[in-house]
């Protein structure tokens, strides 16, 4: 049974003058998933999240939160951190969170929980401007949980965090996901995304070049690096090979080969031998999100 769509984006386009930051972007985030939005700098991650959070106007296209045209009420169900933490610098953490609770129309009872989650309970009455950038980021992450929203939208949440902060963030994401929350996480730290996300969308120049379950993208596939003496012969052999999903000649005679599901490097070696291709080096590597990402970005 298909899961309910929490965020659906159809043909979203954004121009900044002559620059096209988003180019007819289509995207779908299902309920209960942890969706990692990946892409290099300038690929449109923050633009996408800014539009769906109502702080940036799209040039064209539509998006739907919870199956409906978005309005301010839909944002009450979403905890978000876009680009950088934003609070009133002259207010204490307590007052900033009280203010946020009023905006979200929830009580103050969550404030201590948020400060506890952010390890900032002792700084409750410190002014926001007196926090370090890492602590500001921790507060912003914690504040997304205020009022127990159904969805978390986190844009580069690991920015300024120390290793302990990284680990705490991972724990928060897992815990909230276990409680049924949907989480959209934009990042370029691929290892983090691979560890926590169930789904991933990869953006390149404002378009989604890949979308799917992390498990499916990585499952059963192996990357093999092969060096041969006769590159042309190898290309002819690989072009018609049923074992290979795709291959690329990185340098003359050096290939990066992605095997289809359930095929092994040994099968490939056997095949090339039968085709008369002399293999001088064969190295297998686990397929990672990083290797997929880097291939897509080429």
Partner 1 sequence: MRRVIQVENIKTFSSNSFRVIISLHLLFFILVLLSLSRIELSMGEFSVSRLFSFPALWEFFPWIASWFNLLLAVLIIVLTCNEFRYNTFRFQIMNGFHQGHLLAGKVYIMVVIALYALLLVILSGLVSGAIQQGGSGFSIHMSGFNHVGIYFLQTLAYMSLALFFAVLLRNNALAIVVFMLYLFPGEVILRKLLFSGVEAYFPAKLIGDLTPLPSLFTEQISLIPGADVQMSQQASNMLSLSQGAGFAVLYTLVFLTATYLILKNRSF
Of positions 99, 266, 283, 294, contacts partner 1 by CB under 8 A: 99
243 lines the binding site for partner 1 (CB under 8 A): no
Cα gap 188→7, rounded to integer Å? 21
DSSP lists the bridge partners of residue 16 as 19
**Which of the ranges 28-36, 99-107, 251-259, 270-278 carries the binding residues for partner 1, by CB under 8 A?**
99-107
230 lines the binding site for partner 1 (CB under 8 A): no
C-beta neighbour count of 113 within 10 angstroms:
14
Cα gap 228→233, rounded to integer Å? 9
Nearer to partner 1, 84 or 262 (CB): 84
Of positions 17, 72, 276, 286, contacts partner 1 by CB under 8 A: 72
Nearer to partner 1, 127 or 174 (CB): 127
Q: Decide if 7 contacts 68 (C-beta within 8 A).
A: no
133 lines the binding site for partner 1 (CB under 8 A): no
To the nearest whole angstrom, how small is the minimum distance from the Cβ of residue 20 to partner 1?
16
Nearer to partner 1, 102 or 175 (CB): 102
102 lines the binding site for partner 1 (CB under 8 A): yes
Q: Decide if 189 contacts 220 (C-beta within 8 A).
A: no
To the nearest whole angstrom, how small is the minimum distance from the Cβ of residue 57 to partner 1?
5
Closest CA to 87 of 157, 165, 140, 146: 140
Of positions 22, 93, 100, 135, contacts partner 1 by CB under 8 A: 100
Interface positions, 259-288, toward partner 1 (CB under 8 A) = none
Q: Which two tokens stand for residue 23?
A: 């180019």
**Which of the ranges 28-36, 85-93, 236-244, 287-295 carries the binding residues for partner 1, by CB under 8 A?**
85-93
Size of the site for partner 1 (CB under 8 A): 28
**Which of the ranges 3-11, 94-102, 163-171, 203-211 carries the binding residues for partner 1, by CB under 8 A?**
94-102
Contacts with partner 1, residue ranges (CB under 8 A): 50, 53-57, 71-73, 75-76, 80, 82, 84, 86-91, 95, 98-100, 102-105
């Amino acid at each position: 049974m298909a899961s309910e769509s929490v965020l659906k984006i159809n043909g979203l386009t954004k121009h900044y003058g002559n620059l096209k930051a988003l180019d007819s972007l289509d995207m779908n985030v299902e309920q209960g998933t942890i969706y990692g939005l990946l892409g290099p700098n300038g690929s449109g991650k923050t633009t996408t999240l800014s539009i769906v959070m109502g702080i940036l106007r799209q040039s064209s296209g539509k998006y739907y939160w919870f199956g409906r045209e978005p309005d301010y009420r839909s944002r009450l169900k979403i905890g978000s951190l876009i680009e950088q933490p934003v609070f009133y610098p002259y207010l204490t953490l307590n007052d900033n969170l009280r203010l946020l609770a009023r905006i979200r129309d929830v009580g103050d009872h969550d404030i201590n929980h948020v400060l506890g989650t952010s390890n900032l309970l002792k700084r409750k009455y410190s002014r926001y401007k007196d926090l370090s950038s890492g602590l500001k980021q921790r507060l912003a992450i914690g504040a997304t949980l205020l009022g127990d929203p159904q969805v978390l939208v986190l844009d580069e949440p690991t920015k300024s965090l120390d290793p302990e902060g990284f680990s705490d963030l991972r724990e928060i994401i897992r815990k909230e996901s276990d409680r049924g929350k949907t989480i959209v996480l934009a990042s370029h730290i691929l290892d983090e995304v691979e560890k926590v996300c169930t789904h991933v969308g990869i953006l390149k120049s404002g378009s989604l070049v890949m979308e799917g379950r992390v498990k499916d993208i990585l499952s059963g596939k192996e990357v093999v690096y092969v060096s041969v003496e006769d590159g042309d012969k190898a290309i002819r052999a690989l072009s018609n090979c049923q074992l290979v999903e795709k291959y690329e000649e990185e340098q003359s005679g050096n290939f990066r080969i992605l095997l289809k599901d359930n095929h092994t490097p040994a099968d490939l070696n056997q095949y090339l031998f039968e085709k008369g291709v002399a293999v001088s080096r064969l190295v297998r590597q686990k397929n990672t999100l990083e290797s997929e990402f880097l291939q897509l970005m080429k």
